[in-house]
């Protein structure tokens, strides 16, 4: 699963995924958090939030 969310909701999204996915067993997975510096929609040339 890949998600791109705004900074303001990231903590809540992470918390929700953890609550839904955590079984306590090996294989529950990992959450990687990284920054997206720029988004460009190739078809229209839109950038930033408009491109998402």
pLDDT tens-digit readout, 11-34: 999 999 999 999 999 999 999 999
What tokens does 25 get? 């067993």
Q: How far apart are CA 21 and CA 30, in angstroms?
A: 10
- Half-sphere exposure (Cβ direction) of 46: Cα atoms closer than 13 Å: 8
Given a contact cutoff of 8 angstroms between Cβ atoms, the answer to whether 28 and 22 are in contact is: yes
Read off the pLDDT of each residue in 21-48 and give the average, rounded to a whole number. 95
pLDDT at 6 over 90: no
Q: What is the pLDDT of residue 52?
A: 83
Question: Which distant-in-sequence residues (6+ apart) come within 8 Å of 14 by Cβ?
Answer: 31, 33
């Amino acid at each position: 699963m890949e998600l791109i969310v705004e900074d303001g909701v990231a903590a809540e999204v992470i918390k929700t995924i953890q609550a839904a996915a955590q079984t306590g067993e090996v294989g529950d997975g990992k959450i990687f958090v990284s920054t997206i510096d720029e988004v460009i929609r190739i078809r229209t040339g839109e950038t930033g939030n408009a491109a998402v």
